[in-house]
Amino acid sequence: VVRRLAAPDIRARKGGEPLVCLTAYDAPTAEILDAHCDVLLVGDSVGMVVHGLPNTVGVTLDMMILHGKAVMRGSKRAMVVIDMPFGTYEGSRELAYQNCARVMQETGAQGVKVESGPTIAETIAYLVQRGIPVMGHVGLRPQAVLTEGGFKAKGKTDDERLRVMSEAEATADAGAFAVVIEGVAEGLAREITEAIDKPTIGIGASAACDGQILVTHDMLGLFDWTPKFVRRYADMRGEIDRAVAGYAADVKTRRFPAEVETYFSKKPVAQ
Ligand code: KIV
Ligand code: NA
């Protein structure tokens, strides 16, 4: 039996071999990623990359649970972390506990992630004290897109740098087992990584972090456009386009299906 990685394993990787993390939303993809990743994050980015929403604000707890169950079924070794979506944890620590406990119970995942705004440390401590492993997320916080007015990199002013640093410290001190840092300059990512005793996992946050995460659909090249921080390791959009064009041509010209792809009724036995 393969033992799954869990929060203490990830926590122990601080300053060691960089943590390999990707997002996953479905069982077959999770099965492929599982062999290579320490953490599979069921990100609320699912709303944008799978469901076609304009941002993550419309993602619901039911969506996260559905995709979380699929990723758990497809994987067996990586730690599975489920994003808590907008509106399910910010209101109060009791609300957060109820929703996080439901996610943990219904999916069987090893932890949850919350975007760590200025008021979240108390909630993180409350959750961790009650047995819920929590990953934090500082810097660019996509769930704050409507108050911030767009997806903008953080840490360009001294004020902003201090704020992101204090949010990261509060998140780590509250007991988070790791902290995602999104969309910050190298200097700030390095300072945070040196200041806190938990692994930092960067996305658009330089090689100074203790690990990296990308949205799988971005690194596989499923979209025309990707931000500067994404490296495309494949051109899946081109691959799918070529495959479907080939299929369409074969159907129209009756080259598909061929005899080997066809069922025939048994020939009557000769007398
Ligand atoms: O939702 C998501 O995919 C994320 C990661 C990219 C960190 O939060
Ligand atoms: Na997210």
9-56 pLDDT per residue, tens:
999 999 999 999 999 999 999 999 999 999 999 999 999 999 999 999
Question: Ligand 1: does its nearest atom lie under 6 Å from the Cβ of 218?
Answer: no
Q: What global pTM score does this model have?
A: 0.96
Q: Which of 44, 53, 80, 138 to mutate to test the pocket of ligand 1 (most atoms within 8 A of CB)?
A: 44
| pLDDT confidence of residue 271 | 66
Q: For ligand 1, atom 3, which residue shows the shortest CA distance? A: 43
Indicate the annotated binding residues. Answer: 44-45, 83, 113, 115
Is residue 33 helix, strand or coil? helix
75, two tokens = 């994987």
120, two tokens = 């979240």
Q: What are the CA-CA distances from residue 103 to residues 69, 109, 146, 194 (Å)?
A: 9, 8, 25, 32
Q: What is the ipTM of this complex?
A: 0.99
Task: Say which CATH superfamily domain 7-236 falls into.
Answer: Phosphoenolpyruvate-binding domains (3.20.20.60)
Q: What spacing in Å lies between the alpha carbon of 206 and ligand 2's midpoint? A: 18
Q: What are the CA-CA distances from residue 126 to residues 7, 31, 61, 98, 131 (Å)?
A: 16, 33, 20, 11, 9
Q: Which of 45, 89, 226 to mutate to test the pocket of ligand 1 (most atoms within 8 A of CB)?
A: 45
Residue entry with tokens 């051109």: 235
Mean pLDDT split into 10-residue runs, the chain, 271 residues? 94 98 98 98 98 97 98 98 98 97 98 92 98 97 88 86 96 98 97 98 98 98 94 98 98 98 86 66
Q: For ligand 1, atom 8, which residue shows the shortest CA distance? A: 43
54-87 pLDDT per residue, tens:
999 999 999 999 999 999 999 999 999 999 999 9
Q: What are the CA-CA distances from residue 39 to residues 1, 219, 256 (Å)?
A: 19, 16, 41
Q: What is the DSSP string of 136-196?
A: EEEES-GGGHHHHTS---B-SSHHHHHHHHHHHHHHHHTT-SEEEEESB-HHHHHHHHHH-
| pLDDT confidence of residue 151 | 79
